[in-house]
Amino acid sequence: MTSNMLFEPYTLGAIQLSNRIVMAPLTRNRAGPGLVPGDLTAEYYAQRASAGLVIAEATQVSQQAQGYQDTPGIYTRDQIEGWRKVTAAVHAKGGRMVLQLWHVGRVSHVDLQPDGGQPVAPSAIRADTKTFVNNAFVDVSQPRALEIDELAGIVDDFRQAASNAIAAGFDGVEVHGANGYLLEQFAKDGANIRTDAYGGSVENRARLMLEVTAAVAQEIGPDRTGIRISPVSPANGIACSDPQAQYDYIVDQLEALGIAYIHVVEGATGGPRDIAPFDYGSLRRRFSKTYIANNGYDLGLATAHLSEGKADLIAFGRPFIANPDFVERLRSSAPLAEIDPTTLYGGGAAGYTDYPRLTQAPGT
């Protein structure tokens, strides 16, 4: 065991963290009827509460915002009640937890949409990607372009969802601005060919992401608001011709909003960190509050980037799935368990709450 910044407390906006290790949001498709998170979900997150911060899985802000089967929502009373049990379980273990607010945009399927309608997008361009619906991986549906007068309603869905998240006991929220979903679809010109105030220039393409973030910050306080971005990730079939200019601008505006953190997926989500040239230091320098770094970090890279000042917190995703005691394993350089890929998405306790800790404390 060594002294390492990773294991030191940290103040994230209004939230006190016991260490600098963040559990990244992970989609697990185990919501119950009504897309309500259940007792198993409370147990799963409580098992992982030793992370300094737990970012709960991407959670849709409306029915239109859903893109995969059995992902949880935060727009009904029952969903709020379900999440309340989850946050209580994590808080009882001394953990801190924010909710990731999600609108999938074009990464959806007619079978999930209100009245079987088309998924919505900045432009009527179908993504080259699949979703999981009716227990199968299928191509996403052809989307329709949102009318400009529909956008205020989407901003308001995020605002209400943020309010609901606080009512459910979360310590804050993270806007999902990454991985090829709605807000990134607007930001990246591979998915956005609009000619109105939400398309074309860097400023116009950033507008919806910034309006949503501003609304959330106004609703719950900037010191409880963060955002996840993935400037060069091609996740869900998206492309951008000018990521440095686009994200330099976005981060300048996020700085002006005074939000607590930016959570940056460096490289291709879940893939190579060096997929495209990008100066993450430029984002770091433009943003005075917390920079959470993510993607492919291990103990060595995390320690190096913290000590070099490249990041304040490090988010780890997949290692948390098979290692509920991931923090303790990192601390003692213990070996990590491997994920069973067949139980990642959907199902019950198997591959969800049954991964053992390395050493079970007596009497637990």
For ligand 8OZ, the closer of residues 268 and 306 by Cβ is 268
What is the distance between the alpha carbons of residues 75 and 68, in angstroms, rounded to a whole number? 16
- For residue 97, state whether it binds ligand 8OZ (rule: CB under 6 A): no
Residue closer to ligand 8OZ by CB (options 126, 130) is: 130
* CB closer to ligand 8OZ out of 179 and 290: 179
Q: Is 27 in the site for ligand 8OZ (CB under 6 A)?
A: yes
Residue count at the site for ligand 8OZ (CB under 6 A)? Answer: 6
Does 58 participate in binding ligand 8OZ (rule CB under 6 A)? yes
Residue 286 CB, shortest distance to ligand 8OZ, in Å, is 23
Provide the minimum distance between the beta carbon of 106 and ligand 8OZ in the complex, in angstroms, as a whole number: 14
Tokens coding 175: 């806007």
Binders of ligand 8OZ in range 172-211 (CB under 6 A): 179
Q: Pick the catalytic residue from 181, 280, 291, 297.
A: 181
Interface map 117-156 toward ligand 8OZ (x if CB under 6 A): ----------------------------------------
Structure tokens at 200: 């074309």
Q: How many CB atoms lie under 10 A from the CB of residue 201?
A: 11
Task: Provide the mask over 232-271, with x wherever binding to ligand 8OZ is found by CB under 6 A and - wherever it is not.
Answer: ---x---------------------------------x--
CB of 269 to ligand 8OZ, least distance (A): 6
Taking the least distance from each CB to ligand 8OZ, the nearer of 208 and 235 is 235
Q: Is 181 part of the annotated catalytic residue set?
A: yes
Task: Print the SS3 string covering the chain.
Answer: CCCCHHHCCEEECCEEECCCEEECCCCCCCCEHHHECCHHHHHHHHHCCCCCEEEEEEEECCCCCCCCCCCCECCCHHHHHHHHHHHHHHHHCCCCEEEEEECCCCCCCHHHCHHHCCCEECCCCCCCCEEEECCEEEECCCCEECCHHHHHHHHHHHHHHHHHHHHCCCCEEEEEECCCCHHHHHHCCCCCCCCCCCCCCHHHHHHHHHHHHHHHHHHHCHHHEEEEECCCCCCCCCCCCCHHHHHHHHHHHHHHHCCCEEEEECCCCCCCCCCCCCCHHHHHHHCCCEEEEECCCCHHHHHHHHHCCCCCEEEECCHHHHCCCHHHHHHCCCCCCCCCHHHCCCCCCCCCCCCCCCCCCCCC
Closer residue to ligand 8OZ (CB): 199 or 267 = 267
Cβ of residue 315: shortest distance to ligand 8OZ, in angstroms? Answer: 12
**Smaller CB separation from ligand 8OZ, 176 or 331:** 176
**By the rule CB under 6 A, 10 interacts with ligand 8OZ:** no
Residues with Cβ within 8 Å of 144's Cβ and at least 6 positions away in sequence, in order, are 117, 118, 119, 120, 121, 124
Q: How far is the CB of 27 from ligand 8OZ (least distance, A)?
A: 4
Among 44, 45, 68, 198, which residue sits at the site for ligand 8OZ (rule: CB under 6 A)?
Answer: 68
Beta-carbon contacts of 282 under 8 Å, excluding residues fewer than 6 positions away, are 244, 248
Please identify, using beta-carbon distances, which residue of 19 and 269 lies nearer to ligand 8OZ: 269
64 is an interface residue for ligand 8OZ by CB under 6 A:
no
The footprint of ligand 8OZ (CB under 6 A) covers 27, 58, 68, 179, 235, 269
Q: Which residues are catalytic?
A: 181
